[in-house]
Amino acid sequence: MGRAGRLYAGKARVLTDLDEIETRLADLVERELPLRARELSPAHLALVLDETRLIRQLSEAGLKRLITVVETGRELGVHVWFGVQDPKAEVLPTAIRDQFSCKLAHRGQTAEAAHVVFKDAVAAGWAPHLLSGPGQVLVWEALRRPRVAYALWLAERVLAALPLAGPVVRPEFEAAPVELTKASARPSVRAEIPAQTRTRTPGRTADALTPRQVQALSALDVAGGPMGAADLARELGIERNRAHDVLAQLRRRGLVAQTPDGFTIPLRAEEDTTHGA
């Protein structure tokens, strides 16, 4: 482990060996993702790839697994962040870049560099080369206006003094549910649900719905028929892949049903079937 990796020892699981990375990707795709799919609310896992040169060194099977994690992991609580200095196709495959739901761009040197990141959107205000100072980042999210945020750099001694931010040991999903240490200042790691709250009735869930899930259910409730991901994306003004994620989350919780024509609320699906008969 290099000096940069040692800085994060005890704060996160750091993989710098290519064989370790290949093994972890294989475990994610072949074991952990299928197990997460059975969880009502799987704990969130963040994968940060800071050295994109490692992507070019992956085997063909390893690259395919990474793409699978990027394409399917989000709805299962696995979020992948890439630290990229040059986001060109030869650095990151198109299959990965097309899945980005957020970009944080530090100040660039030229308009040409900005165009590599945001292409023709530079003229619409996505211009990281015009940021006024170090520490500023331009935040891109689909269907939203450009906004500026500030990045925070920590001195090595400050980072070393921080408490453990999360589990460094992979949770064993096939065992009994485990309690994970909550990440400081982030609410996303799942807490244990008391046993008496685990009994679910149709159309109800012990976990609170997100605002986006509530919007999706409202749209399905007033729709004249089943809705697909593209229909919901247009209705809510979001990307199609994000609409698909929301529908998949609601389906896993038993709040929507999938029919040959799209997604609908289960009671409505039964009513439509009865009416058609």
Which range marks the domain in which residue 243 is found? 201-276
| pLDDT higher than threshold 60 for residue 1 | no
Residue 157 and residue 232 in one domain: no
Residue 152 and residue 20 in one domain: yes
pLDDT at 111: 84
DSSP assigned state of 211: H
- CA distances to 37, 168, 190, 204, 213 from 208, rounded to whole Å, are 19, 28, 12, 10, 10
- Map tokens 């209705």 to a residue: 235
Between 16 and 199, the higher pLDDT residue: 16
* 112 in a structural domain: no
| Mean predicted confidence (pLDDT) in 259-276 | 65
Q: pLDDT digits over 205-241, tens only?
A: 335 778 788 888 888 887 778 899 988 988 888 888 8
Q: pLDDT digits over 246-256, tens only?
A: 999 888 888 88
Residue 49 and residue 150 in one domain: yes
Distance CA 193, CA 206 (A): 8
Between 90 and 114, the higher pLDDT residue: 114
| Positive or negative: CA dihedral 151, 153, 159, 162 | negative
> For residues 243 and 222, is the Cβ–Cβ distance under 8 A?
no
Residue 150 and residue 226 in one domain: no
| pLDDT higher than threshold 80 for residue 193 | no
* 225 in a structural domain: yes
> 276: pLDDT confidence band, cut at 50, 70 and 90?
very low
Residue 244 and residue 148 in one domain: no
The model carries a pTM of: 0.56
Domain count, the chain: 2
**Which of 134, 155, 136, 154 lies closest to 146, judged by CA?**
136
* 123 in a structural domain: no
| pLDDT higher than threshold 50 for residue 39 | yes
Distance CA 94, CA 67 (A): 10
Residue 149 and residue 60 in one domain: yes
* 238 in a structural domain: yes
For the ranges 73-77, 126-130, 177-181, which has the lowest average pLDDT? 177-181
* 177 in a structural domain: no
pLDDT at 33: 94
pLDDT at 34: 94
pLDDT at 189: 37
pLDDT at 183: 38
> Residue 238 belongs to a domain with what CATH number?
1.10.10.10
